[in-house]
Amino acid sequence: MPTFDDAKMRVKAKLGTAKKNKPVSASGTPTQIISGYCVLPIYLPAPVSTTGTSSDSEDEGGLKQTPVVHYLYIRKHETPGDNSSSRTLFVANLPIDATTLHMHKLFSTIADIAPSSIETVTFLPSPTGTSFQLIPSLSSLKGLQESEISQIRRILPTCSAAHVVFTDIKAMNKALGSLKFQQVTPPVWRLSDSVEQETEDANAMTGSARYMAIHKRRRISSAALQVTVDSFMSAYNKAETQRERDAKRARSMPDDDGFVTVSRGVGRTAVGTSSDALKAEAKKRQKKGELKDFYRFQIREEKKTRMNELLKNFKMDQEKIRELKAKRKFKPFSSKLA
């Protein structure tokens, strides 16, 4: 099953305590290319806290210590007529916990590119992922106390992609060049080479710490919520008033051809809605309706439709019985309890 050289993986032992990875030059083998994308295998280590605390339980098996290979698909980003694109790499199939810092570290490892050479990393919204957000975003909250502001690492839906924009074409080409050939050992997906540093970094926060932080974020103080709501509402009202004013102006202003568009007022809807009115009208109409059994042909028609209805039901019933029979339903002694 593994697409990777198994022997090589076995050589690679503990990842959490692995020695500092020097930027490795590419081996001689060219990289696998799929639909124009360079395939970059990376090691996905187990979370730091787990490997750190339970180094003695290696034999537990499971997934803990086994190196797991994840695959990134990278190519040059090209959009006709866009200058910046020429120094942008498109990276697909990111791990769910990818951050800008992860990307910095990755390129520094594979191509020795300094973080300063990367201008921006933009994570793209996945068209297949849901937009359902469980965590109130920091940007939508106002008036938070100092103690309430805590960073929560952003998690991407599976199979997300990013644009990595380099400061210049040279840096990008260097990165791209390093992708052409396979690495001796796949780079490790992490923020930092030192375990301690990684644990402290808020961006790496996982597990209970993460969920504690989310829990706290969701239970903000009344004061902060008040500020948030007030600021939203005043902005909303301002926008509303502006919209109303525009609409009013539009109503009184003749357009280019000198016509005034007649539009509905912005007044509140009255007690009765339009649908109520429709219903009432329909009712009225029904009451006034013609006599249904006045003419002979009406009676005949009525009978005919009823008759047909009956026959239709009969046919349906027959159909149902046939189905039930096919399911061997009418066997009284093959019952479930018998």
Partner 1 sequence: MAKRKRSESSSMVDFALARERDIENNDLNAEESGQVDEYSDDFDEDNDEEGDKSSMPESEENSANSLLAAESLNPGKVSKKKLQVSRLADDVHNIHEAIQLYKSNIFKMEIDELLAELKIDEDKTKHVDRILHKLKVIIESIEDSPELLLPDAEEMLSKSGISIPFPDPKPPKDAQYRFKYGGPSDYNVVNCYLLKTMIKSPERFGIDVVVNMPKNIFHEKDTLNYRYFHKRAYYLAYIASYLKSQKDLLFDMSYELLDGDHLRPVLRLESVKDGGEFDFHRAKCYIRIIPGISQDVFPLSKISPSRNCVRYSQNPAESLKPTPFYNSSILNDTYFFPGTVVLHKAAKSCDGFKDAMKLGEIWLRQRGFKSSIDGGGFGSWEWGMLMAALLQGGGAKGSRSLSKGFSNYQLFKATLNYIASNDFTETPVNTSKSPLGFDKGVFGGLPVLVNNDINLNLLYRMSVSSYRRLRHEASLTVAELDDVKGDHFDSVFLDKVDSLIYQYDFASLIKFPSFRDDKTYRDIGRVFNPSYYAYFTSKVYQILHWGLGERASLISTKFSETSRWPLTSPKPSSLGDGAFTLGILLDPENSERLVIHGPSAEDKAQAEEFRKFWGRKSELRRFKDGSIIESVVWEPHSERSIVSQIVTYLLERHFGEAIAKDITFVADALAKTFAEDMELGDGSAFTKFQKNLDEFELLRKLLIDIDDLPLRVSSVMPASPALRYASIRPPTKFSIECVHEFSDVVIELETSSKWPDDLVAVQHSKAAFLLGIAESIKDVDAAISTQVGLERDLVTIENFSYLDILLPSGYAFRARIQTDRESSMLRNYSIDKDLGLRAHRNLERNFSLAARHTTEFQTMCHRFPFLSPAVRRVKKWFHSHYLSPQVDDVLIELITLSIFLKPFPWTAPANATTGFLRTLYFLAYWDWRADPLILDVDNSLTISDVQAIRDTFKSLRNNDLEYSQTAMFVAVNYARDGTTWTSPNPSKVIASRITMLARASCEVLKTGNTIVSNNKSTIGRIFVSPLKDFDFVIHLKKVDHRPCLDVKYPPYDYVGLYFNELQTIFNGNVLLLRNALENDVIAGVWDPSILKARNWKVYLGYSTQPSTTEVANASDNNAHVRANIMAMVREMQRLGGDLISKIDVLK
Question: Which residues in 221-280 contact partner 1 (CB under 8 A)?
Answer: 222, 225-226, 228-230, 232-233, 236, 240, 268-269
Question: Quick one: which of 15, 40, 46, 179 contacts partner 1 (CB under 8 A)?
Answer: 46
> Cβ contacts of residue 110 below 8 Å, gap of 6+?
23, 24, 40, 175, 178, 179, 183, 187
Residue 94 pairs in a beta bridge with 160
Least spacing, CB of residue 258 vs partner 1, in Å: 31
Q: Which of residues 147-176 bind partner 1 (CB under 8 A)?
A: 155-159, 161
Question: Quick one: which of 9, 24, 50, 201 contacts partner 1 (CB under 8 A)?
Answer: 50
By beta-carbon proximity to partner 1, the closer residue of 261 and 313 is 313
Structure tokens of 224? 């902060």
CA 296 – CA 309 distance, rounded (Å) = 20
Question: Quick one: which of 30, 115, 177, 272 contacts partner 1 (CB under 8 A)?
Answer: 30
> Cβ contacts of residue 96 below 8 Å, gap of 6+?
155, 156, 157, 158, 160
By beta-carbon proximity to partner 1, the closer residue of 170 and 215 is 215
Least spacing, CB of residue 168 vs partner 1, in Å: 25
Q: Which of residues 109-138 bind partner 1 (CB under 8 A)?
A: 126-137
Within 13 Å, how many C-alpha atoms sit on residue 176's CB side? 19
By beta-carbon proximity to partner 1, the closer residue of 116 and 335 is 335
Q: Which of residues 313-332 bind partner 1 (CB under 8 A)?
A: 313-314, 317-318, 320-321, 323-325, 327, 329-332
The closest of 133, 130, 144, 143 to 216, measured between CA atoms, is: 144
Least spacing, CB of residue 122 vs partner 1, in Å: 15
Is 195 a binder of partner 1 (CB under 8 A)? no
Least spacing, CB of residue 116 vs partner 1, in Å: 27
**Which span sits near partner 1 by CB under 8 A: 11-19, 102-110, 209-217, 248-256?**
209-217
Question: Quick one: which of 7, 253, 262, 337 contacts partner 1 (CB under 8 A)?
Answer: 337
Least spacing, CB of residue 262 vs partner 1, in Å: 21
**Which span sits near partner 1 by CB under 8 A: 9-17, 37-45, 80-88, 103-111?**
37-45
Least spacing, CB of residue 166 vs partner 1, in Å: 20
Cβ–Cβ under 8 Å, residues 266 and 241:
no
By beta-carbon proximity to partner 1, the closer residue of 168 and 319 is 319
By beta-carbon proximity to partner 1, the closer residue of 61 and 254 is 61
By beta-carbon proximity to partner 1, the closer residue of 51 and 109 is 51
Binding mask of the shown chain, residues 58 to 77, with x at each position contacting partner 1 by CB under 8 A: --x-xxx-x-xxxx-x----
Question: Quick one: which of 24, 95, 163, 167 contacts partner 1 (CB under 8 A)?
Answer: 95
Residue whose tokens read 């013609």: 290
Question: Quick one: which of 21, 24, 26, 47 contacts partner 1 (CB under 8 A)?
Answer: 47
